[in-house]
Amino acid sequence: MQKSYNIAFLTSGKSMGSNFEAVMTHIQKCNVPIRAKFLIITRADAPITQRAEKFGVKFIFLDDKKTFEQKLLTFLNKNNVHLIVLAGFMRKLSEDFLQKYPGDIINIHPALLPKFGGKGMFGMRVHEEVFQMKENFSGASVHYVNERYDEGKIIAQRKIPIDHCTSAEEIAKEVLKIEHELYPEVIEKLAREYLELYK
């Protein structure tokens, strides 16, 4: 049987899932055997569930914070997941979890790290801060996840001019467009590297 690169998505709250959609659309046509094994949600009414249904990706609802990581580890092991893809996941994973999970974990952040990262910096809050600081550029960063918020090694970044944007919402829209290019590209690259190494 052909070896596949198995990924699982983690989201939290009322996740929209636009990055999930971009990644799924890409892996369906990219000619690399990447399999989306499951998607974790923490709210049953998260809009991302409709997208998961569209792509036929199983979603698992884990709402109890106390048992979240233990249950997650069980699903990861059962499905032989090589890469966890955080897509709008706003919580911090514990050091204990990071030590126990042997695969890679990546996150996409809607700014040019190390600027505009850290605790409390997620979603619109990032863009509001960028707008207030009158930045000429913003962008997206994909990085490995470690025990500190947004401080893991940066894998790729893309920068765009935002000096024409007149609100934080406009910046968010522009940045989201490039997130949708960057995240699938990085996942494909990691999959290719893995499959080349372990073929």
**Residues contributing to the site for ligand GAR (CB under 6 A):** 15-19, 87-88, 108-110, 122-123, 126, 176, 179
Minimum gap (Å) between residue 185 Cβ and ligand GAR: 15
Cα first-last separation, the chain: 11
Task: Tell the smallest beta-carbon distance from residue 1 to ligand GAR (Å).
Answer: 32
What's the CA angle centered on 120, arms 115 and 125, to 5 degrees? 70
Which residue in the block uniquely carries the two structure tokens 């991302």?
Answer: 48
Minimal distance, residue 168 CB to ligand GAR, in Å: 12
CB closer to ligand GAR out of 17 and 152: 17
Chain-centroid distance of CA 83 in Å reads 10
**113/194 with CB nearer ligand GAR:** 113
For residues 162 and 194, which CB has a smaller minimum distance to ligand GAR in the complex?
162
**110 — phi, psi (to 5°)?**
-85, 50
- Catalytic residue from among 26, 82, 109, 143: 109
- 192 Cβ contact list (under 8 Å, min separation 6): 32
Q: Which is nearer to ligand GAR, 82 or 109 (CB)?
A: 109
Question: Residue 134 carries which side chain, given as an amino acid letter?
Answer: K
Instruction: Name the token pair of 171.
Output: 């910046």
- 109 as an active site residue: the answer is yes
Distance between CA atoms of 153 and 148, rounded to whole angstroms?
Answer: 11
The C-alpha atoms of residue 105 and residue 7 are separated, in whole angstroms, by: 10
Residues marked active site are found at 109
